Amino acid sequence: MRDNARCPDCGHTEIGKGKLSGYATLTPKGKIFSMGSAIIADVCTNCGYIIKMRVERPEKFKDR
Ligand SMILES: [Zn+2]
């Protein structure tokens, strides 16, 4: 799948994907015992600007 994202900072169109995991996982608020989810970040490969971040497992953040 082609990503047409463009860096809003420098205008570069080559966007790489990074993954934050380990200590940087985002944990659902109030769910102390859940594992949390790794964060996927879209990064400009020219200047390093992070264009967007999303969690890998969004369903973990649903209220039950
Ligand atoms: Zn950039």
> What spacing in Å lies between the alpha carbon of 13 and ligand 1's midpoint?
8
> Where are the chain's structural domains?
15-57
**Residue 1 clears pLDDT 80, i.e. is over it:** no
**Residue 24 clears pLDDT 80, i.e. is over it:** no
> What spacing in Å lies between the alpha carbon of 20 and ligand 1's midpoint?
19
Beta strands in 1-64 (DSSP E): 15-20, 39-44, 50-55
Query: What strands lie across the sheet with 15-20, from one edge to the other?
Result: 15-20, 39-44, 50-55
Tokens at residue 13, please? Answer: 């169109």
pLDDT confidence of residue 23:
67
Q: State mean pLDDT over 16-41.
A: 80
> What spacing in Å lies between the alpha carbon of 61 and ligand 1's midpoint?
30
Q: List pLDDT tens digits, range 36-58.
A: 788 899 999 999 999 999 988 89
Q: How confident is the model at residue 15 (pLDDT cuts 50, 70, 90)?
A: very high
- The structure's pTM equals 0.69
